């Protein structure tokens, strides 16, 4: 990745980040990690998952979601990496996702580079960003909010 220009970020499928979700612990408000299991061909949101708090050790399990049922992938907890801005809130699922958003937004609004292998190209992460987060006039504020979250929430 070292030769990747700052303004270009490899396109990644959402599964690249969706296996590890950072949330606030329901017991102590510390940093908890939701480890997401293999979705077995279904949507990653349906996979079984386990929440483990890194601060107090609390553990909670959520079984695979039955067909036709929609469960909260964050297990009802607030995502830990929330960038609050005047325009709205942007969420990063985990450290790697935060890095990805920061590189994408700080580098300017370039098209995503194709994935390195197989030509798989999935712009879903970036296309799901709200328009205000991608607006050039808000970039400084969003990038600052990311830096604040990195300082205070990681
Ligand atoms: Zn805890």
Dump pLDDT digits (tens) for 79-118. 999 999 999 999 999 999 999 899 888 876 555 554 444 3
Segments of 4-146 assigned E as strands: 20-24, 31-36, 49-53, 59-62, 81-84, 89-92
81 CA from centroid of ligand 1 (Å)? 16
Give me ligand 1 centre to Cα 88, in Å.
Answer: 27
How far apart (Å, rounded) are the C-alpha atoms in residues 68 and 71?
10
Question: pTM higher than 0.75, yes or no?
Answer: yes
The alpha carbon of 136 and the centre of ligand 1 are apart by a number of angstroms equal to 38
Alpha carbons within 13 angstroms on the beta-carbon side of residue 93 total: 20
Q: Which residues pair with 49 in a beta bridge?
A: 36, 62
The answer on pLDDT for 4 being more than 70 is: no
Q: Between these two residues, 70 and 95, which has the higher pLDDT value?
A: 95
CA of 10 to the centre of ligand 1 (A): 34
Q: Which of 142, 33, 139 is nearest to 91 (CA)?
A: 142
Distance, in Å, from the CA atom of 92 to the CA atom of 117, rounded to the nearest integer, reads 25
Do 142 and 105 contact (CB within 8 A), yes or no? Answer: yes
Chain-centroid distance, C-alpha 19: 10
CA distances from 120 to 42, 59, 91, 97, 114 (A): 19, 36, 24, 18, 7
pLDDT at position 50 is 98
What rounded mean pLDDT belongs to the chain? 83
Report the pLDDT averaged over residues 59-69: 92
State pLDDT tens for residues 136-152. Answer: 899 999 999 999 999 99
Q: What is the pLDDT of residues 12-31, one digit of tens each?
A: 556 678 899 999 999 999 99
Q: What is the predicted pLDDT for the residue at 7? A: 43
Residue 110 neighbours by CB under 8 Å, 6+ apart = 7, 8
Whether 122 has a pLDDT exceeding 80, the answer reads no
| Ligand 1 centroid – CA 59 distance (Å) | 9
């Amino acid at each position: 990745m070292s030769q990747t220009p700052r303004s270009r970020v490899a396109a990644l499928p959402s599964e690249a980040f969706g296996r590890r979700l950072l949330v606030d612990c329901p017991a102590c408000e510390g940093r908890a990690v939701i480890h997401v299991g293999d979705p077995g061909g279904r949507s990653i949101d349906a996979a079984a998952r386990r929440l483990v708090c890194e601060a107090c050790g609390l553990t909670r399990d959520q079984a695979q979601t039955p067909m036709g049922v929609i469960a909260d992938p964050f297990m009802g907890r607030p995502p830990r990496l929330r960038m609050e801005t005047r325009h709205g809130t942007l969420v990063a699922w985990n450290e790697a996702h935060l890095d990805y958003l920061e590189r994408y937004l700080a580098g300017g609004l370039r098209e995503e580079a194709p994935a390195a292998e197989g030509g798989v190209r999935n712009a879903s992460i970036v296309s799901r960003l709200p328009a205000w987060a991608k607006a050039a006039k808000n970039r400084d504020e969003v990038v600052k909010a990311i830096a604040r979250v990195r300082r205070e929430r990681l």
